[in-house]
Amino acid sequence: MNLKPIFNRSFSGLLFDMDGTIINSFASTERAWGNWARANGIDPATFLPTMHGIRGVDLIGAMGRPDLDPRAESAKVLAAEMADVEGIVPITGAIDFLASLPPDRWAVVTSAPRDLAYRRLEAAGITPPKTMVIAEDVAVGKPDPACFRLGAERLGVDPRDCLVFEDAHAGVTAAERAGASVLVVTATHDLLDGTAHPTMASYEDLHLDLDGAERLTLHRRG
């Protein structure tokens, strides 16, 4: 097997975004948020590309619309998302790749609230990891780095010694601000075309080595 290292270094921990990174929930997300946008006089075609990876309460709060209460409106969208898990599937190869990881060396760091995160993972057939960081765990969501710093802390490692798997601008920015390395997942959209970070379209081509010092090194089959 011909293996090529993706990074010229190893890592202590792996931090995975959820939507668009280990599961494909794109259609469900855009149905719920598209319906909400239309109901509030917002053009979905303009709005939807800007909202991926951001907590609902932060997204609505940043709109500056006094007629929209961020918590109340994000709760409406959450109810719609909880009711609609049709078509949610794992990113190709994600189940096997995640199952191959040491359980105490990886975490999911998501902008989704707890109930939605677990519901979507279940719908995709992915067993939740031991360590999760969800929307309720931080005061400010992505692109603020607090979520990735917390994920690293819960793993007992330095965020600068972590590799973050992300698919959205907000998440990549959060990872960069936390000092982590980034691998961009391009499986569900092309919003990060032209990124300076390494990219991957599926997990099938990835291979992880754990050395004697328990350092994680990521390779691409090729």
Domain ranges of the chain: 3-25+88-221, 26-83
What sections of the chain are H helices per DSSP? 26-39, 44-47, 56-61, 70-83, 94-99, 114-124, 146-155, 169-178
What is the structure's pLDDT at 1? 65
Strands 131-133 and 106-109, sheet pairing? parallel
Mean pLDDT, residues 127-149 taken together: 97
pLDDT digits (tens, 9 = 90+) for 52-103: 889 999 999 999 999 999 999 999 999 999 999 999 999 999 999 999 999 9
Query: Mean pLDDT over residues 166-171, rounded?
Result: 94
pLDDT of residue 192: 75
- Domain spanning 3-25+88-221, CATH architecture: 3-Layer(aba) Sandwich (3.40)
Active-site residue, from 17, 58, 144, 161:
17
211 part of the active site: no
Q: Confidence class of residue 210 from pLDDT cuts 50, 70 and 90?
A: confident
Q: Which two tokens stand for residue 55?
A: 């907590």
Reply yes or no on whether 17 is catalytic: yes
